[in-house]
Amino acid sequence: MGLKNLGIIIFLCFNLSLSCYAGKLYKWVDDEGRTHYSDKLPPSETHRARSHLDQQGITVKQVDAAKSDEELRQEQEQERLRLERQRVLEKQQALDRVLLRTFRTEDDILMTRNGQLQAVETHIRVTQSNIKRLKSTLDDMEQFAAQRELSGKPVSKKMLKDIDVKRQALQDAYSSIIDREHHKNRIRQSFAMDLKRFRELKKLNSTTNPIEEAEESFNDALQNVFNCQSDMACNKPWRLAKQYLKKHSTTAVKIDGANIVITAEPVKEGDISISMSRIEDPKKGSTVIFMDLQCKKDPTRNMACEKTPEVMQIKAGFQQALLQ
């Protein structure tokens, strides 16, 4: 028998077998690679990919294999990410519309930012004035208490309590300045992002990065703040801070408390007075050491005493000195 006749016989046998099935015929491949044909799909095979054949053996429908739990989970995650992406996109588009409606030029953004920064700076200057008054009052109270002790007279409990209250008020004032400096940083960061996005939307070229500039301004503003992971972690830095104060202050120590050290107010031109405060923030679970500098302007220099090289150098070296 020739190969041609053999092929015809196989074809006829296959078609005769299909004709035995009056309805739907299923075709699938098992795990071992064997092909199966049946008019009924066994329950154990419903998860497999399969073909539906008609009586002529022609595929009329293709059914994919059932997805695994992991594949279903991945599909759900992909859908969640697509929805989240759409939400973020719509939010950004809304913010862009507000940004372009609010500001017409870069100068508009900078003027608004500077106005908000100036408002916070005004509060800081008021607090600094209060600090000077608190220091003066506390100094008088400390001297009065010291004189009574030297003369053999007792210091009343009320006086001691009042001294503690003033010290706490002074620390609260320092803490307020730190909080407002952080507020200024949030303003800078927010407007830096707005300015960067505004330039992107308007296709404006610039050689500066406003976000980096905002970070530099913040770092410069808080050179006199040292952050500790915990109050206990501040023990060594606090000792180093007091040494730093004695090394750089030109006036003598007037108040040496457990959490605050203050030198005398500046008297002559070029004097630098330094205060150190150890401030705990229970809400944040952290402690900071804050250095406050006061100086008396030298009339021979055409600059604010806070901007003199001596003061700037003290600020610049503060944090590094406490890391030793």
Averaged pLDDT for residues 10-22: 46
Q: Regarding predicted confidence, which is higher, 18 or 228?
A: 228
- Residue 246 clears pLDDT 90, i.e. is over it: yes
Give the percent of the chain with pLDDT over 90.
34
- Residue 304 clears pLDDT 80, i.e. is over it: no
Q: What is the pLDDT of residue 208?
A: 66
Do 27 and 35 form a contact (C-beta atoms < 8 A)? yes
Query: CATH assignment of 225-324?
Result: 3.30.310.80
d(CA 158, CA 308): 42
- 265: number of Cβ within 10 Å: 15
**Does the predicted TM-score (pTM) go above 0.95?**
no
Q: How confident is the model at residue 10 (pLDDT cuts 50, 70, 90)?
A: very low
Looking at the chain, the domain(s) classified CATH 3.30.310.80 span 225-324
List the single range of 220-229, 283-292, 300-309 with lowest mean pLDDT.
300-309
Give the percent of the chain with pLDDT over 70.
84
Averaged pLDDT for residues 33-52: 83
**Terminal-to-terminal C-alpha distance of the chain:** 99
d(CA 145, CA 158): 11
What is the per-residue pLDDT across 158-177, written as a single tens digit (0 to 9) for each? Answer: 999 999 999 999 999 999 99
Q: Regarding predicted confidence, which is higher, 185 or 55?
A: 185
Question: In whole numbers, what is the pLDDT of the chain averaged over residues?
Answer: 83
d(CA 101, CA 96): 9
Residue 270 has φ and ψ, to the nearest 5°, of: 90, -5
